[in-house]
């Protein structure tokens, strides 16, 4: 299969997989019924889409804050000649999931998460990373309020860059603050955060690895979803391979007393995958962030202009990614974070 062989059924399949992979015994059979194709054809098509690197993986997606991890977006400034080597050092930390070069004085942007068991904490981890890389300047930009999160790229072409959606996406109200994880929960999370096997009954296979029944596994996942801990089971795509070659981080200078009014207007656009309130600094006045994915920079520019028009916010910037250094899912309850901390404690 090549990119030229992608057809309408594949594109419909990719839309379904990004939205909600069924949490039931025979998920591929259910998807096949939606598309009027067989279970085996669904599995074959997904396998082929993985081979051409349209699909990164299919797995459970968890909410970092509900998992009691502390996370933040970090911006660092480097001389261009030092940027690649700095990104390489930063990527060694297992809590780094996304790391991009962007067109700004702050030219390296990455996300960092540390577990609740961390002895160093997020701020000290950032301090160590800044010292290891000799960053010129560093800004910690945690989420102060989540208005929307969830990347769903329309592969069918039915939506245009300005299409809107109902306010039923994952946001602040979904976050669980007080869930206590059992040993069984942790065992399950460790399994379902990995790429699902492409077999007719993947949950049965995963349950066997945990040592429980598939019914117990599915019940637990549905419970975690109802609590806001698991956002969904879904496919993560390689954006550029899938045709979405541009992503812009729109940053908006919104007065604090207008954020609650402005953010929902921006989050309503389907092409806005993330919408957050973040802190400001004397050299960083932007309080609202929107991530936009488009097939071209022109698409992103057009949507940013539209967001400005509907919100009335005319002080903004668009930071485009020009290089991807790292993109992966965060691995929860893994020992690598503790190992990294033990190797760098002496720097504090």
Give the torsion sign (CA, 196, 201, 205, 210).
positive
Phi and psi dihedrals of 258, rounded to 5?
Answer: -110, -5
Burial degree of 263 (CB within 10 A; 0-12, 13-18, 19+): buried
Residue 98 a catalytic site member: yes
Which residue is catalytic, options 93, 98, 239, 274?
Answer: 98
Using CA atoms, how far apart are residues 345 and 211, in angstroms rounded to an integer?
Answer: 37
75, 109 Cβ separation under 8 angstroms: yes
Instruction: Give the CA distances from residue 33 to residues 8, 26, 28, 154, 291, in Å, rounded to whole numbers and listed in that order.
Output: 16, 11, 9, 20, 33
Is the CB of residue 218 less than 8 Å from the CB of residue 25?
yes
Distance between start and end Cα atoms, the chain? 52
Q: 274: part of which helix (H) or strand (E)?
A: strand 272-277
Distances (CA, A) of 130 to 139, 222, 309: 10, 40, 38
Whether 271 and 161 have beta carbons less than 8 Å apart is answered as yes
CB 1 within 8 A of CB 51: yes
The Cα–Cα gap between 15 and 156 comes to 8
What are the catalytic residues?
98
């Amino acid at each position: 299969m090549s990119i030229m062989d992608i057809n309408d059924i594949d594109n419909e399949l990719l839309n379904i997989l990004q939205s909600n992979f069924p949490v039931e015994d025979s998920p591929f059979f259910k998807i096949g019924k939606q598309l009027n194709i067989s279970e085996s054809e669904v599995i074959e098509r997904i396998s082929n889409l993985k081979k051409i690197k349209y699909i990164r993986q299919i797995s459970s997606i968890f909410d970092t804050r509900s998992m009691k991890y502390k996370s933040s977006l970090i911006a660092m400034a480097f001389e261009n000649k030092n940027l690649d080597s700095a990104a390489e050092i930063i990527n060694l930390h297992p809590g780094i999931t996304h790391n991009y070069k962007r067109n700004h004085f702050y030219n390296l942007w990455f996300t960092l998460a540390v577990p609740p068991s961390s002895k160093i904490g997020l701020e000290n981890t950032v301090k160590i990373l800044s010292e290891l890389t000799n960053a010129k300047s560093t800004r910690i930009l945690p989420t102060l309020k989540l208005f929307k999160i969830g990347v769903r790229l329309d592969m069918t072409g039915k939506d245009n860059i300005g299409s809107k959606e109902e306010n039923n996406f994952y946001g602040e109200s979904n976050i669980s603050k007080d869930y206590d994880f059992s040993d069984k929960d942790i065992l399950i999370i460790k399994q379902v955060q990995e790429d699902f096997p492409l077999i007719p009954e993947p949950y049965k296979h995963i349950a066997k690895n945990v040592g429980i029944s598939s019914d117990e596994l599915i019940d637990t996942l549905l419970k975690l979803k109802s609590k806001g801990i698991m956002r969904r089971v879904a496919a993560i795509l390689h954006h550029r391979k899938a045709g979405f070659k541009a992503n812009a981080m729109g940053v908006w200078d919104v007065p604090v007393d207008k954020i609650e009014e402005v953010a929902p207007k921006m989050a309503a656009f389907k092409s806005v995958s993330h919408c957050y309130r973040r802190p400001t600094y004397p050299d960083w006045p932007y309080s609202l962030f929107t991530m936009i994915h488009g097939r071209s920079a022109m698409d992103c520019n057009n949507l940013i202009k539209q967001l400005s028009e509907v919100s009335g916010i005319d002080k903004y910037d668009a930071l485009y990614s020009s290089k991807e250094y790292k993109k992966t899912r965060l691995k929860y309850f893994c020992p690598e974070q503790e190992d990294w901390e033990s190797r760098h404690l002496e720097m504090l």
